[in-house]
Amino acid sequence: MREKGLYSVQAVVKAIDLLETLAMENTNLTAQAIAKKLEISRNKAFRLLATLQEKGLVEHNRETGAYYLGLQAFEMAQHILKSDNLIRLAHPIMLQLARKLDEAVYITVMNNDEVFFLDMVDSFQQIKTVDLVGRRFPAFTNAAGKAIKSIGSIEIFGRGARRRGITDPGVLEMELTEIRKKGVAVDFGGLGEGICTVAVAIRDYAGKVVGALTLLAPSFRMLQERLENEVIPSMLEGGEQLSMKFGYSRAYA
């Protein structure tokens, strides 16, 4: 069992212990067996199980009384494995791009209509953009979100448009169409004044978007000539290399 941490919430600690217990056991456990293993009262075990069951993390067999991990627990594990696999495959290409362009390069993913900055390789520049690892931004406020959203069918109209940061759906639709044609999105100021982002979508063997390679740099270093002749070609090449690692082929596009 874990020692009590200074800031730990014991109900949460016990809930995690409960999930770990169910994950490690070869056989399903009853509430009484779980209470004994966790050294808690049966009543407390029932309350924890009911809460976890409500969230889909635990399921209950009424006939046997046994509890086992729910589908939501397995789905969460799959998301973690996918993220880990994405970082593992992307990192060498991110490193290559960051050293070639001497700018910060991220791998970003879409989660609940927001762009999540998952991992980064930084530049050696003295003037850098702020570290965004772990940060989330609305999809249509930045190049990464637009690069991802430009592929496949998108719903940008309707009541939720303004709530999602879309002030002019018609203009956005044209922008996404252009991004889809070029394969790259470029944005100035979407993530803050003086910040430029350049992003290319990453696809898997089925053509499904799994994320986006995203470069962040101060706007003053992203002159049009450098963007067109150096940055964009390099990002497109890196995006294609990473997509190929996931089994993507233009033949299937």
One digit per residue, pLDDT tens: the chain, 253 residues?
444 444 446 778 888 888 888 877 656 789 999 999 888 999 999 999 999 988 888 888 888 888 988 877 766 665 655 667 788 888 999 999 999 999 999 999 887 788 989 889 998 888 877 788 888 898 888 999 999 999 865 554 444 455 555 667 778 888 898 999 999 999 999 898 999 999 999 998 888 898 999 999 999 999 999 999 999 999 999 999 999 988 887 654 5
Ordered domains of the chain (ranges, CATH): 10-69 (1.10.10.10), 75-252 (3.30.450.40)
**Cβ neighbours around 208 below 10 Å, total:** 12
SS3 call for 1: coil
**Closest among 76, 64, 63 to 19, alpha carbons compared:** 76
Residue 187 region by backbone torsions, left for phi larger than 0, else alpha for psi between -120 and 50, else beta: beta
94/9 Cα distance (integer angstroms): 38
How is the beta sheet containing 66-69 ordered, strand by strand? 29-30, 66-69, 58-60
Pairing mode of beta strands 185-188, 195-203:
antiparallel
**Partners of 33 in beta bridges:** none
State the pTM of this model. 0.65
Question: What pLDDT shows up at residue 147?
Answer: 95
The sign of the dihedral angle between the CA atoms of 236, 153, 75, 55 is positive
What is the Cα–Cα distance from 141 to 185, expressed in whole angstroms? 12
> Within a 10 A sphere around the Cβ of 50, how many other Cβ atoms?
12
CB 1 within 8 A of CB 17: yes
